[in-house]
Structure 1
Amino acid sequence: MLTRELVGRTFGQDWHYIALDTERVPFLWHYHPEFELTFTRNAEGMRYLGGDVAPFGEADLALVGPNQAHTWQATPRADGRLQHVQVVYFTEAWLQQLAGHGLPELAGFLGWLADARDGVVFSADCTAQVAPHFARLHISRGMQRLACLFEIFDALARDTAARRLGSHHGVAREDGRLRAALDFLHRHYREPISLPQAAGAAATSPATLKRLLRERLDCSFVEVLLQLRIGHACHLLVSSGLPIQLVAEQSGFPNAGHFYRQFARARGVSPADFRRRYHLRRAQTDAEPFSEPAPSLEFLPCGGRPD
């Protein structure tokens, strides 16, 4: 199930920081209206950003666009070391306000950010460059912490080798009808649903919802639905040994043939090839998906950690 994440403010500011040490990074589809910058260390697995699915290595840095469905997934390390995740949430409006009230130096980064709404995966060189800044971000407070954040932002905009994504699922402008429709899709994408049903949940007409999806997300109802279903199928393929027909059923596809065609079109390989290439190695049997519950990521202010 894909959930909408509520990100609280940090001491009145429109940005928020959390850090988490965990045995494994769980699969947890979610989205939120803020940008999210995630730095993952000591973990290897799969990264899902909108329609982009790719493996990630020991150090991974990626920017998630507003309202873009995303998650990371990694299994426990063989050496028992904890995986470390640092996440910064921020709003474009906050940076625009700062730029308009005494920090015009942010204008360049805001220009870069406007073209990064569909997500960015940063290069290994950039990731290594900002690693010390993330270390200082975690232990700093007050103006020093803010200075670390701006140093990170500056490095991101200078990464000419970064890989920009193109899912077009960041919502530049909020609209209550579109938000209600997306919430409905995120709750029911594994069920047989239609455009009129989503429009009804949003208290609008199918024609209006169709127009909003095209104007705000640059995609159709079917494209959004397929992205959610294929993302869920990718998760099942890499984390379980379920037969592919059951993967199709549990991801919301009406039949296996339709699933095979759409998956190959979206991923460029068959479901079986995708599983062989990316299946997560773990101690459990291949017939079992992960059985333990996913840990909750609490939103604690200024570098606090869950107990």
Structure 2
Amino acid sequence: MLTREMVAYSHGQRWHYQRLDVEQVPFIWHYHPEFELTLTRRARGMRYVGGDVAPFGELDLMLVGPNQAHTWQAPRRVDGALHQVEVIFFTREWIEELAAGALPEMTGLAQWLRGAQNGVEFSLPCAERMTALFDRLKNARGLTKLGCLLEILDGLPRDHGARFLAGARNPDVLDQRIELALAWLHQHYREPVTLADLAAVARTSEATLKRLLREQLRDNMSGLLGQLRIGHACNLLITTQLQVQLVGEQSGFPSPSHFYKQFAAAKGLSPGDFRRRYHLSHRQNAARDNLDTPGLRFRYRIGEPSAS
């Protein structure tokens, strides 16, 4: 199930930083209206951002767009070392307010963020440059901490090796009817769902809901439902030994043929080939040969789905 995470701001700040050292992190889909910049150290595995599934290495820097479903997952390392995860949350509105007022130097960053709504995977050289800044951010206080944050953000558009994720643009602020529909869909995507069901939850007509999904998410109900089901299926294929047919069934697909067709169209691989390439047992065996355990990271503070 995909849940909405509530970011806890403190001391009147318009951004939030946190660092965790964890043994492992479970696979859990979540989303929130803020941008999320995540630096991961000492972990290997797979990263899920929207419809994008990609491996990551010992050092990884990723920007997740607002209202974008995402997750990492990381099992324990063989050597017992902890995964180090550092996360910065911020909104584009805050950056644009600064650019329009006290800090016009941030105009370039504000413009760059408009094209980064679907997420950005940064190059390894960029991640390496950022590690020292994240170390400073962790220990800094007051204006020094804010200055360090702005230096980190200012460096993001300078990475010419960054990979911009494809997909529909995600708006920073969703219509309340879309919020209601998404919150319900994220809980029931493994069940039979109709547009009429979703419209009733959103307290609007089917025609209006279709228009809102198209205008705000550049998608339709079938597309959103498919993304959630494919994401769930990816998790089962990677972390379990369930028969492929049961994976499709437990992910909400109405028939095996529909599952195979939709999965291959989304991932470019059959479910069986995807499992053979990414299953954790295979990756852990490969890791032991290198005295390291690849894994997947995911988030740790999960809130309840929002209905508003």
TM-score, length basis structure 2: 0.90
Amino acid at match of 2:100: G
**Structure 2 partner of 1:187:** 187
Amino acid at match of 1:2: L
**Structure 1 partner of 2:146:** 146
**Maintained 8 Å contact 1:19/1:87:** yes
Amino acid at match of 1:85: V
Per-residue CA deviation, residues 235-263 of structure 1 (Å, 9 max, x unaligned), is: 11111111111111111111111100000
Q: How far apart, CA to CA, are the structure 2 residues paired with 1:224 and 1:11? A: 36
**Maintained 8 Å contact 2:120/2:163:** yes
**Structure 1 partner of 2:167:** 167
**Maintained 8 Å contact 2:28/2:299:** no
Q: How far apart, CA to CA, are the structure 2 residues paired with 1:86 and 1:167? A: 25
**Structure 2 partner of 1:287:** none
**Structure 2 partner of 1:20:** 20
**Maintained 8 Å contact 1:68/1:169:** no
1:246 paired with 2:246, answer yes
SS at 2:280's partner residue?
A: coil
**Maintained 8 Å contact 1:172/1:216:** no
SS at 1:177's partner residue?
A: helix
**Maintained 8 Å contact 1:184/1:201:** yes
Q: How far apart, CA to CA, are the structure 2 residues paired with 1:14 and 1:174? A: 19
**Structure 1 partner of 2:55:** 55
Q: How far apart, CA to CA, are the structure 2 residues paired with 1:103 and 1:77? A: 43
**Structure 1 partner of 2:204:** 204
**Structure 2 partner of 1:31:** 31
SS at 1:78's partner residue?
A: coil
Amino acid at match of 1:77: R
**Structure 2 partner of 1:129:** 129
Q: How far apart, CA to CA, are the structure 2 residues paired with 1:134 and 1:194? A: 45
1:76 paired with 2:76, answer yes
Q: How far apart, CA to CA, are the structure 2 residues paired with 1:216 and 1:86? A: 30
**Maintained 8 Å contact 1:67/1:169:** no
List structure 1 segments (4+ residues) > 3 angstroms apart after TM superposition: none
Q: How far apart, CA to CA, are the structure 1 residues paired with 2:113 and 2:203? A: 32
TM-score, length basis structure 1: 0.91
Q: Which runs of 5+ in 1 are unaligned?
A: 284-293, 300-307
1:297 paired with 2:306, answer no
Per-residue CA deviation, residues 149-197 of structure 1 (Å, 9 max, x unaligned), is: 1111111111111110112252243210111111111111111111111
**Maintained 8 Å contact 1:41/1:83:** yes
Per-residue CA deviation, residues 57-116 of structure 1 (Å, 9 max, x unaligned), is: 111111111100000012111110000000111011111222222110111000000000
Amino acid at match of 1:102: A
Amino acid at match of 1:57: G
**Structure 1 partner of 2:108:** 108
**Structure 2 partner of 1:157:** 157
**Structure 1 partner of 2:264:** 264
Coordinate RMSD, CA, aligned: 1.6
**Maintained 8 Å contact 2:33/2:173:** no
Q: How far apart, CA to CA, are the structure 2 residues paired with 1:229 and 1:295? A: 20
Q: How far apart, CA to CA, are the structure 2 residues paired with 1:271 and 1:157? A: 36
Per-residue CA deviation, residues 9-58 of structure 1 (Å, 9 max, x unaligned), is: 23112211111110112211000111111111111111000000111111
**Maintained 8 Å contact 2:36/2:90:** yes
Q: CA deviation at 1:296?
A: 4.3
Amino acid at match of 2:137: L
